[in-house]
Amino acid sequence: METYRKEIISKPAKPGMPYSPAVGCGPLVFISGNVGRDPGSGEIAKGDIDSQTRQTMRNIAVHLEKAGSSFDQAVKATIFITDMDLFADMNKAYSSFFSDDPPARSCVEVVRLPDPEALVEIELIALKS
């Protein structure tokens, strides 16, 4: 039986935050919830759910790349959305990041997210390539 060790792939952008944005363990990588905040400017993507979802997915892509993975290797996503009426537009933007075989997924409406400007937060589990 193999023994797996936890591997911190990405550290929090703000020191002292009690989570790791990306953690590897064996053949899997776990990406913490991401919102549509531009890492360069620190600003939440302006506009609508489409722009926030696309920025969120670009943020996730950075962690996947650090782990040696990609969206093609994603096995499970969880989406938190502040208004289910935005689902169709979020889904269209989200879908554009996957080829023919998207991961299993859950999507739930939440009252609010830890980032008050965020409309969507996405976490992901993927295989390492």
Q: pLDDT band for position 126 (50/70/90)?
A: very high
Residue in 61, 62, 107, 125 annotated catalytic: 107
* φ and ψ of 19, to 5 deg: -155, 165
The overall average pLDDT reported for the chain is 95
Give me 21's structure tokens. 């944005």
| Helix, strand, or coil (residue 6) | strand
**Could you give the CA distance from residue 61 to residue 73 in angstroms, rounded to a whole number?**
11
For the cut 90, the answer to whether the pLDDT of residue 129 exceeds it is no
User: In the chain, where are the structural domains located?
Assistant: 24-127
25 is an active site residue:
no
Pick the CATH number of 24-127 from 3.30.559.10, 3.80.10.10, 3.10.310.30, 3.30.1330.40: 3.30.1330.40
| Tokens, residue 116 | 């008050």
What pLDDT was estimated at residue 16?
A: 83
Q: For 42-91, what is each residue's pLDDT tens digit? A: 899 987 999 999 999 999 999 999 999 999 999 999 999 999 999 999 99
Instruction: Find out whether 108 and 79 touch, Cβ atoms under 8 Å.
Output: yes
Between CA 23 and CA 61, with CA 25 as vertex, the angle to 5 degrees is 45
Please give the model's pTM, rounded to 2 decimal places.
Answer: 0.94
The whole-angstrom separation of Cα 35 and Cα 21 is 12
Q: What per-residue confidence (pLDDT) applies to 17?
A: 84
Taking the C-alpha atoms of residue 10 and residue 44, their distance in angstroms, rounded to an integer, is 20
Question: What is the model's pLDDT at position 38?
Answer: 92
Query: Which pLDDT score is estimated for 43?
Result: 92
Distance separating alpha carbons of residues 51 and 67, to the nearest angstrom: 25
Mean pLDDT of 4-33: 92
